[in-house]
Structure formats: structure tokens, C-alpha cells
Amino acid sequence: MNKKIALIYGDGIGPDIVKAAVKVLERIAEKYRHKFTFCDAPMGGNAIDEYGDPLPKKSVDVCLASDSVLLGAVGGKKWDNLSGSKRPEAGLLGIRKALKLYANIRPAKLFPQVADRSPLRKDIVENGFDMVIVRELTGGIYFGERGIRQGKLGREAYDTECYSEIEIERIARVAFEIARKRNKKITSIDKANVLESSRLWRYAIHEVAQDYPDVTVNDMFVDNAAMQLVKDPSQFDVIVTSNMFGDILSDLASALTGSIGLLPSASLNDTTLGLYEPIHGSAPDLGENVANPIATILSAAMMLRYSFDMTEEAADVEKAVDKVLCDNRTQDLWSEGKRLCSTSEITDLIIKNI
């Protein structure tokens, strides 16, 4: 099978971790006799420096012409003083919009090998957890009307939360389909006691639920959800929620696993073209060849599963990661008695186990 993959290396540790994932994909291609062609698509701070634009049009064209996109991370202090539309992070919103990526899939799993790194109490960690957060990605307050105006008390800023029924229904169906392949349980998170957008959200979720009688649905307010994630994350299987709530709660869930360096994500549309990236940032102060590439490597595994329907290949990568984590760590996970590995060293160990 031949596939074209666009690579957005990004900033900071981005190039190191993307190169690591590419090596893993090349090993998969070799083993299973696939052909992966890689094309560069500059985005973020490096694109600002070279083209004066966080997302050049030619990069969008490369992504649209590809079968999938692999992204490292963007941003850094160097560009912090730029206006919002010119910052590296504007490239993220732009590429999501250009590729119509409305569904963000973020697994949050506690790896038993590194359970001691979780900030949770030991009795909670012993239960383990394995959840998927399905976050709506192109609507809500991040894309609503915004601005600064003169108010009664002087200048005031506003950002508008707005969701259509169609936007809610389509993300709901993504969540229900995922739930059907897991434990058939969904928690829909909103703030329906206060927000009109959340009241419509709750109504639309339950309308879609009628088409999935085999899936159990319960509603939870976002403030309670944050508390429950800390008290007992094992109660969750599939979470579906809005753009802003999903942004916050998925970062909380990632912290419970012990390292944000282990967690991948997928952003999907109605086609097989997806964007895959670790959920962590660019960590520009970290230095070269020390970052944990596992989240990016597992994002590549999600690409194999969701965009290319290569389930065996994806499982091969995931099993290799599980095996390597038994005795090897990058600096973010290191503990006494374990081998301390650089980015390239742990990548080579994963490749060896595929």
C-alpha cells in the first residue's frame, strides 16, 4: 500500500520527535511492504521566520494533497510578542479549519509500567484507567465572534460560544462509534445549568443516542467532571465534550497518566485524511535529543489505524512501546533502576521490537 504523509516538524522539540516517528513508520513500511512518501509542510514559528506566515498556503496545499498529516509541536518564546493571528499557534487553528478537522480524539491511558509517576493516590492508581476524550474541534468559543469594545466600565473583551445542532450531532456520532468498539459507555460533559449552548448540546447528544440503544449515556457538568477525573478516572470510558471543555479536561487527564510525553491524539474529518500529533507542546528549552518521542510515535500508530486502516501495524507499534517502557525511560519518566535513554535511543529500541 502506498501512502503520502505530510510532515509538520514545527518548533522546539518538534523536529526531533517527528523524525523519531518517521523512523518507526519506515520500519513498519519495511516489515509490511508498504510505501510511505513524506513531504515537508512548514508551519509555526519556523514558517514565520522563513515565510512571514504561521501557515503558508503551500503547506496547506501539501496537506490537502496527502493521505494524512503528522505534526510535532509549534510555538516558543521567540514569537510570544506577536499578535494573535501572527503567532505560531494560529497555524494550528488554520490547519484544522483548512482540513475541516472537527473531531479530536485523545486517549488517556495509565501505563502500568509508569504508574508510579501518576500524581494520584496509590489506591486510585491501582484501579488503572483507559479513556478516550472526543473533543469538538472547529466550533465553540475558539471560533465564535470575538473582539474588544467600549463597555459601561471601560474597555471590555468578548468571546462568543456558539454551536449548531449539526456540529453537535456529528461529533456525537464519532463518540458513539468509538464507544461501540470499546465498553459502550459515554459521558457527555457540558454546563447545561448555566449555558444555552450546553442545553442544546445535551439535547442533541440524546437525540443521537436514540440511534445507539446499545450505548449507555450519562451527562455531567464540567466542574464535576474535573473533580471526578481526579477522584476516580476509571469510571470514564468515552468522554464527548465541546472545544474549550475538551481542551482543558484532556490536559487534566494527561497529567494523571504521569507524563504528557506518552499521549497521542488524532484530529479527523469526514474523510480518511487526519492530522496526528502529541498533545504536549514544543518545549523549546529542552534541548536536542532528550525529548520523549513516544506520544508522537503513538500518534503515528493512530494514523495507521484511523486513516490507513492498518490495525495490525498500529498494534505492532503499540506493543513495542509497551515492551520498551518496562525497562527504559526518557528523562521525563526516569526512575531509579531504569535505563535513561535519549530520543534516538528509545526510538531505536522501539524499532528493534517491531
Give the count of beta carbons closer than 10 Å to the beta carbon of residue 312. 10
Residue 318 identity: E
Q: Which of 40, 116, 223, 270 is catalytic?
A: 223
Has 285 been annotated as catalytic? no
Q: Which of 4, 32, 78, 142 is catalytic?
A: 142
Has 49 been annotated as catalytic? no
Contacts by residues 146-150 (CB-CB < 8 Å, ≥ 24 positions apart): none
**CA–CA gap between residue 65 and residue 88 (Å, rounded):** 22
Residue labelled with grid coordinates 525497562 = 327
Has 247 been annotated as catalytic? yes
Q: Strand 238-241 vs strand 130-136: parallel, antiparallel, or unpaired?
A: parallel
Is the separation of the CB atoms in 12 and 75 below 8 Å?
yes
Q: Strand 264-268 vs strand 103-109: parallel, antiparallel, or unpaired?
A: antiparallel
Grid cell locating 82: 506577536
**CA–CA gap between residue 25 and residue 19 (Å, rounded):** 10
**CA–CA gap between residue 262 and residue 36 (Å, rounded):** 24
User: Is the alpha carbon torsion for 77, 80, 82, 84 positive or negative?
Assistant: positive
5 phi/psi in degrees, rounded to 5: -120, 125
DSSP code, position 122: H
SS3 266: strand
Give the count of beta carbons closer than 10 Å to the beta carbon of residue 37. 12
Give the count of beta carbons closer than 10 Å to the beta carbon of residue 298. 24
Length in residues, the chain? 354
Has 251 been annotated as catalytic? yes
Q: Which helix (H) or strand (E) holds 248?
A: helix 243-256
Q: Which of 3, 9, 16, 191 is catalytic?
A: 191
Q: Which of 53, 130, 219, 251 is catalytic?
A: 251
Q: Which of 247, 276, 306, 316 is catalytic?
A: 247
Has 67 been annotated as catalytic? no
Residue labelled with grid coordinates 442544546 = 200
Grid cell locating 27: 520500519
Catalytic residue IDs: 142, 191, 223, 247, 251
